[in-house]
Amino acid sequence: MNFKEIYTQLPYILIAKGLSSEEWDLLNYFLKTLRVEIIYWDSSRGEPYLHPSQILLTSEFSQNSLRMGFDWALPISVLGRLSPDEREALVQKRVVSFWDLNEINIFSSLPYLGKKIFDNEIELLIWTKSLSFREIFSSLVKFFPIKLTSTDNPEFALQAISQNSYHLIVLDWDQSGLEVIILLRELRNLKTKKRDLPEIIGIKDFDKMNVFKDLSSGIREFCGVLFTPEEVLELFLRSFPIQSKTNFQINQEKDFPVIFKQPKEYPSSSLYLDYKKETRIANLQNKWTKQEIDKFFFTRQFDWVLNRGIFS
């Protein structure tokens, strides 16, 4: 797995909360080894004007420090220990990167602070009226190689699909702005005009009324499996870096699909969801490669989002 530094492209905000004096010193020593300027900040200094290759470091966890990242659309991470109320504040400001030092050793966190997976960028369309889902994904893509188009407008979404070649579409069947039967008709029209539609990752609330009517109307024609919003988030976190299948023997760990690249005989840009038993998320039977170790530690910063039920 390849990484690049977010903070060389954008200013990066790092909130260190609840660190011991030894952890704070270690964090500072580590940051000083990077080729960046460290801006120490607290609210008494007002809002700073930040530039690329600068890291704003603060021990102040407050609405002001969170708002800077949210309002300025900057990548922001929290490192340390938070109360339940402070975790809720992260949710409200759509901060997804939280290194919980109650669960993670600071030594395993430092190499991945301010890093972004550097891989072949994928183009993703998210189509849902759920503002929280769109904002959380907008925060997440700062750490992943995703070029994101996000909309709640059906007319814009259909036009975007017809005019662009997305790798993946995340479509909320319940919150698209169209009745399911009309949405299916529009997608079928697009399918006749374009030879192939991208893989569609469908979101569906199975607790809603008329769910069986919706399913029987033809959703499966476009979505082999359907997910909750939390499962879509987990799908992306588990799938990166997106790669072709390996020939390793695997043990099934969870009944959950994964995004793969198509084999070489297919267009290089093609991605698809594989939900066959033998390719579900699993542990490889060989020793962990460096890429697997990097992925394990890098994604730990997002574990709290999956465990919390952030969209509920």
103 & 169 share domain? no
Q: Does residue 60 sit in helix, strand or coil?
A: coil
Q: Using the predicted structure, report yes or no on whether residue 230 has a pLDDT greater than 80.
A: yes
Q: Is residue 45 part of a domain?
A: yes
156 & 299 share domain? yes
With beta carbons less than 8 A apart as the criterion, state whether 276 and 250 touch: no
Q: Is residue 310 part of a domain?
A: no
**Tally of CA atoms within 13 A in the half-sphere of 111 that contains its CB:** 13
Q: From 116, 143, 160, give the residue that closes a domain.
A: 116
Report residue 52: phi and psi, to 5°: -55, 155
Q: String of b and e for 102-112 (b: at least 16 CB within 10 Å)? A: eebebeebbeb
19 & 135 share domain? no
22 & 42 share domain? yes
Q: Is residue 85 part of a domain?
A: yes
Q: Using the predicted structure, report yes or no on whether residue 173 has a pLDDT greater than 70.
A: yes
Query: What is the predicted pLDDT for the residue at 281?
Result: 44
Q: Is residue 145 part of a domain?
A: yes
231 & 299 share domain? yes
With beta carbons less than 8 A apart as the criterion, state whether 267 and 199 touch: no
Higher pLDDT, 25 or 218: 25
Please state, rounded to an integer, the average pLDDT across all residues of the chain.
Answer: 85
Q: Residue 177: which pLDDT band, with cuts at 50, 70 and 90?
A: very high
The number of distinct structural domains making up the chain is 2
Q: Which domain holds residue 256?
A: 119-305
Pairing state between β 76-80 and 250-252: unpaired
Given phi > 0 = left and psi -120 to 50 = alpha, else beta, which region is 183? alpha
Q: Is residue 215 part of a domain?
A: yes
With beta carbons less than 8 A apart as the criterion, state whether 280 and 304 touch: no
Write the DSSP symbol of residue 4: E
Lowest mean pLDDT among 38-47, 80-89, 175-184: 38-47
Q: Is residue 312 part of a domain?
A: no
Q: At what angle do helices 154-163 and 180-193 cross, to 10 degrees?
A: 20
85 & 172 share domain? no
Query: What is the predicted pLDDT for the residue at 284?
Result: 44
Q: From 98, 116, 134, give the residue that closes a domain.
A: 116
Higher pLDDT, 196 or 234: 234
Whole-number Cα distances in Å, 288 to 22, 69, 259, 268, 293: 31, 35, 20, 27, 6
CATH number of the domain enclosing 109? 3.40.50.11230
Q: Does residue 16 sit in helix, strand or coil?
A: strand
- The percent of residues in the chain predicted with pLDDT above 90, rounded, is 50
162 & 252 share domain? yes
Q: Is residue 53 part of a domain?
A: yes
Measured in Å, how far apart are the chain's first and last C-alpha atoms?
32
Q: Is residue 311 part of a domain?
A: no
157 & 297 share domain? yes
- Can you tell me the distance from the alpha carbon of 209 to that of 227, in angstroms, rounded to the nearest whole number? 17
pTM value? 0.82
Query: What is the predicted pLDDT for the residue at 249?
Result: 39
Q: Residue 276: which pLDDT band, with cuts at 50, 70 and 90?
A: low
Q: Residue 216: which pLDDT band, with cuts at 50, 70 and 90?
A: confident
125 & 110 share domain? no
Q: What is the rounded average pLDDT of the residues 110-118?
A: 93
123 & 258 share domain? yes
Higher pLDDT, 163 or 208: 163
Give the chain's largest Cα–Cα span: 63
224 & 205 share domain? yes
Q: Does residue 269 sit in helix, strand or coil?
A: coil
CATH number of the domain enclosing 135? 3.40.50.2300
Q: From 116, 131, 147, give the residue that closes a domain.
A: 116
Q: Using the predicted structure, report yes or no on whether residue 273 has a pLDDT greater than 80.
A: no
- Can you tell me the distance from the alpha carbon of 96 to that of 302, in angstroms, rounded to the nearest whole number? 6
109 & 124 share domain? no
